[in-house]
Amino acid sequence: MKSIRTCALACTSIVIGLLLHAVTTPAQEASNAPSNTPAKDSQQVTPAAMQLIHVTLQDALARARKNSVQFQSAQTDAAIARQDRFQAGAALLPGVNYNSEFLYTQGNGAGNSVRYIANNAVHEYISQGNVHGTLDLASISSFRRASSAAAAARARAEIASRGLVVTVVQNFYAVAAAQQKLLAAQRTADEGERFLKLTQELEHGGEVAHADVIKAELQMQERRRQFQEAQLGLLNARLNLAVLIFPDFNDNYEVADDLHSPVPLPTLGEVQQQAARENPDVRAALETVRAAGAEVTGARGGYLPSLSLDYWYGIDAPQFSTNSVVNGQKLSNLGSSALATLNIPIWNWGATQSRIKQAELRRSQADRELSLAHRKLLAEIKSIYSEAETALNELGGLSRSAELAEESLRLTTLRYKNGEATVLEVVDSQTTFAQTSSAYQDGAVRYRVALANLQTLTGVLTTP
């Protein structure tokens, strides 16, 4: 009986334990299960926030024009110069003003006379419109000088724009080249690891000495370092371009890789014609000479008379009204008057002659700078075109060298497996492949930058 009671208690304990386990297990699973809602929200937000931006060369140029401080500064200077020209032109035209005055003068009592003979009445009200204009040679020369200065500012803005193109092209294709260099470095690093494994296998088979394994491991370590340097180079190139084209810090972008797309080189005759017609450096120097000539003319205008004209219409009366009554008769206070003044300079202790001398010195310096601009243009046409032509000619050889180095590495590795080549030959082939690949990318960038430098002379950027 006691044993039966013990068995019943044991069965009851087992059933209770099973029930507790069945209840607590789903609760623990629910509490330990991750929440799907926040993860879903984060998955929805992250792609939008990290959307990759595809940037072409034209996109980079457009973005850089909006964000470049130097370029915007040149544009601002050109806009300010246009406003200076507008103001100088407005100074040649008559101006209209309206004057309203009240003048009180102490009187003598009888007859409403005043104590100051220059004044007309005890109470005098003046309300008149005035048209004023001045005609002199200095104002006309000032307008011409402002016009030339505005044209020179536009030319300098064009210089800044073309210089920005060179900077963008250089940074843009530096990123593309760094990407290709990273791929080549990754390939050489992998090749170094495979060659190390090959030497170890051959050493275990007794076919090569342990010195080959040491040399292969040293070469593998060098390739790893080169791969890390290539990663760093790509990072720096991307950051430099991002600073140039984005208003805020954003390195989540990719560039269109058209570094090795064929780009024709214009003929020398085309470059010379476009440079002679569209070169902003010569245009800026020429406009500076014209501005200096206008300044000389304006300074000489100090010897000539100046004429000013004034016309007034309104009231100048003892009552502030359009009509007044005198001796019972109604009279109009409205009237007009005109004044012409001719100012003839006589003597100013040589100040005019000094201003003429200053202007002539500036004009002489501007002439010298214009002559220098012409000489520099002729020299830069030959120099920059020769640079582009040389880069294009060398690019084909660099491409062929990279292909040959890749094939040489493959054949040398096969010869080493067959015991026909030494470890030094394999290491030399790996080094040659890495150098020729890097040189090929640098040569492609050099040609693109040379084309960008050509557009500083012609204003036309040759693209694929």
Which pLDDT tens digit goes with each residue over 392-428?
A: 999 999 999 999 999 999 999 899 888 888 889 989 9
Assess whether pLDDT exceeds 50 at residue 36.
no
C-alpha radius of gyration, the chain, whole number: 43
DSSP structure string for 109-169: SGGG-BSSTTS--SEEEEEEEEEEEEE-HHHHHHHHHHHHHHHHHHHHHHHHHHHHHHHHH
pLDDT-derived band at 10 (thresholds 50, 70, 90) equals very low
Q: Which span out of 1-15, 27-41, 70-84, 310-324 was modeled with the highest average pLDDT?
A: 70-84
Query: Residues 174-198: what's their mean pLDDT?
Result: 92
Q: Which 8-state DSSP code applies to residue 265?
A: P
Q: Is the dihedral of CA 52, 56, 59, 65 positive or negative?
A: positive
**Residue 164 · residue 280 · CB < 8 Å:** no
Q: Which of these ranges, 195-199, 291-295, 353-357, has the smallest mean pLDDT?
A: 195-199
The one-character DSSP state at 51 is P
In the chain, helix, strand, coil percent, each to 5? 70, 15, 15
DSSP code of residue 208: S
304/302 Cα distance (integer angstroms):
6
pLDDT on residue 460: 85
Regarding predicted confidence, which is higher, 22 or 218?
A: 218
**Whole-model pTM?**
0.77
In contact, 227 and 221? CB cutoff 8 Å? no
Q: Which residue has the higher pLDDT, 408 or 10?
A: 408
**Do 290 and 141 meet the contact criterion of CB atoms below 8 Å apart?**
no
The whole-number pLDDT of residue 5 equals 43
Contact (CB, 8 A) for 177 and 441: yes
- Cα distance between residue 316 and residue 299, in whole Å: 40
SS3 assignment, position 382: helix
18 alpha-carbon distance from chain centroid: 75
pLDDT for residue 250:
86
Find out whether 54 and 112 touch, Cβ atoms under 8 Å. Answer: no
**H helix and E strand count, the chain:** 10, 8
Higher pLDDT, 202 or 232: 232
Quote the crossing angle between the two packed helices 137-204 and 351-417, to the nearest 10°: 10
Eight-state DSSP code of residue 301: G
Residue 79 clears pLDDT 90, i.e. is over it = yes
Task: Give the type of residue at 237.
Answer: A
Question: pLDDT tens, 229-249?
Answer: 999 999 999 999 999 999 988
What average pLDDT score do residues 214-236 get?
A: 93
- Residue 389 to residue 15: CA distance in whole angstroms: 93
Mean of the pLDDT values across residues 120-139? 90
Partners of 343 in the β-ladder: 306
Least-confidence region, from 112-116, 217-221, 245-249, 385-389: 112-116
CB 145 within 8 A of CB 91: no
DSSP-based three-state secondary structure for 103 = strand
Q: Retrieve residue 172's tokens.
A: 């843009």
Q: Is the pLDDT of residue 221 over 90?
A: yes
On whether the CB atoms of residues 216 and 196 are closer than 8 A, the answer is yes
CB 55 within 8 A of CB 245: yes
* pLDDT at 118 (0 to 100): 76
- Nearest-angstrom CA–CA distance, 101 and 125: 6
Write the pLDDT tens digit of every residue in 323-352: 888 777 888 889 999 999 999 999 999 999
Which position has the higher pLDDT, 263 or 5?
263
Q: β-strands 334-343, 253-255: how paired?
A: unpaired
pLDDT of residue 33: 40
Residue 16 has pLDDT above 60, yes or no: no
What's the pLDDT score for residue 464?
66
The answer to whether 263 and 451 are in contact (CB under 8 A) is yes
402 Cβ contact list (under 8 Å, min separation 6): 433, 436, 437, 439, 440
Q: Around Cβ 240, how many Cβ atoms within 10 Å?
A: 16
pLDDT of residue 112: 60
Residue 328 Cα distances to 190, 283, 414, angstroms:
117, 73, 129
Specify the range with the lowest mean pLDDT, choosing from 97-101, 110-114, 149-153, 446-450. Answer: 110-114
Confidence of residue 123 (pLDDT cuts 50, 70, 90): confident
Residue 13 has what pLDDT?
47
What residues have CB less than 8 Å from 56, skipping those under 6 apart?
255, 256
| Residue 35: pLDDT over 70 | no
Query: For residues 218, 221, 225 and 226, what is the CA-based torsion angle, rounded to 10 degrees?
Result: 70
More confident residue, 40 or 71: 71
What's the confidence (pLDDT) of residue 321? 87
> Is the distance from CB of 105 to CB of 116 less than 8 angstroms?
yes
Residue 164 has pLDDT above 90, yes or no: yes
Indicate the residue type of 225.
R
